[in-house]
Amino acid sequence: MSEPESEVGGVPVAALKRHAELSELVEEARWNYYVRDQPTVSDAQFDEWFRELLALEEAHPTLQTPDSPTQKVGAPVSGDFAKVPHLNRMESLDNAFDEADMAAWMTRVERLADRAPGPYLCELKIDGLAIALVYRDGKLERGATRGDGRFGDDVTANVRTIEGVPHRLKGEGVPSLVEVRGEVYLPVKGFEQLNEQLAEQGKQPFANPRNAAAGTLRQKDARITAQRPLRMLVHGIGLWEGSEVPRAQSEVYVRLREFGLPVSDLFKVVPDLTAVNEFVEHYRVHRHDPPYEIDGVVVKVDDFRTQRELGSTSRVPRWASAFKYPP
């Protein structure tokens, strides 16, 4: 009687089985979170599975294929709306969970850039729904969810109802074509009021503000969306054509605010890791001060030229990292 195989293609059978199990768990969790807006596991549990999956693929590189969850962004479009392409791919972010992770990311960035690439821009990571808005000749043409990063759901009609999102950009130097990225969210007070209304109507309340924002933005009836206090904050650009492109992330925020777009004031440009850690620690203590829920801090290389030099992997930009707070 032959012994059972302990390896297949140089990979232990136990690792193959665990990789398949984790892949299924991660894909199912993503579908429930991004498409159904009904998460079935905590963010902490998802992050634990994802980190284990990354570790398995690092130990056994043949496990990493284009179909692996580690190579994908978000989830497929829902099918409830028209599927539209993004002008440039919308990516995810690598996560850091402690100061050592953040230091390791910064070391990688410095090695790849072959210099100290600071300063860095630190901003709050809003727990909402990623969105891309396209403005052509200053007019809002389209709003789309992130979807799988290449295609998203066309939610333009609903986006037009969000207070603070301009239908036309104002000021001088407006690009002929610009795609802005941001986060749609429900303020904490608005979330509480919405759940009270749903309870009074005998309807199921939302589990948290993120689910409420996602469910509201994906309403097929824009009149329902208009009745709920959705908000948006812009945190980047995907494309900028027809006018001089700013040289840094922080400069973009100044310009976008001049155009009338909603940009947070709660960001800071800092010189080094020590200052990054101070910003992270400040908002760990003051996490509930903003009017919306946050689950961490995003750190970006501020200079656009350095961002372009660093580029991206198949899933994330190398020039940014998200420090995740514990639940």
Rounded Cα distance between 319 and 115, Å, is: 13
Rounded Cα distance between 91 and 311, Å, is: 11
Rounded Cα distance between 24 and 41, Å, is: 13
CA angle 4, 5, 11 (to 5 degrees): 155
Query: Which of 134-139's residues contact partners 24+ apart within 8 Å by CB, and which partners?
Result: 134/87, 134/177, 134/178, 134/179, 135/169, 135/174, 135/175, 135/177, 135/178, 135/179, 135/180, 136/176, 136/177, 137/176, 137/177, 138/168, 138/169, 138/170, 138/174, 139/167, 139/168, 139/169
Q: Under DSSP, is residue 190 helix (H, G, I), strand (E, B) or coil?
A: helix
- Measured CA distances, 1 to 8, 12, 325 (Å): 19, 21, 53
Q: Under DSSP, is residue 264 helix (H, G, I), strand (E, B) or coil?
A: coil
Q: Give me the phi and psi of 69, to 5 degrees please.
A: -60, -25
List Cβ neighbours of 23 (8 Å cut-off, separation of 6 or more): 53, 68, 69
Q: Could you give the residue ranges of the DSSP H alpha helices within the chain? A: 13-30, 43-59, 99-113, 156-159, 188-200, 209-217, 222-226, 249-258, 273-285, 304-310
Q: Under DSSP, is residue 71 helix (H, G, I), strand (E, B) or coil?
A: helix
Q: Under DSSP, is residue 221 helix (H, G, I), strand (E, B) or coil?
A: coil
Rounded Cα distance between 93 and 109, Å, is: 14
Active site residues: 125
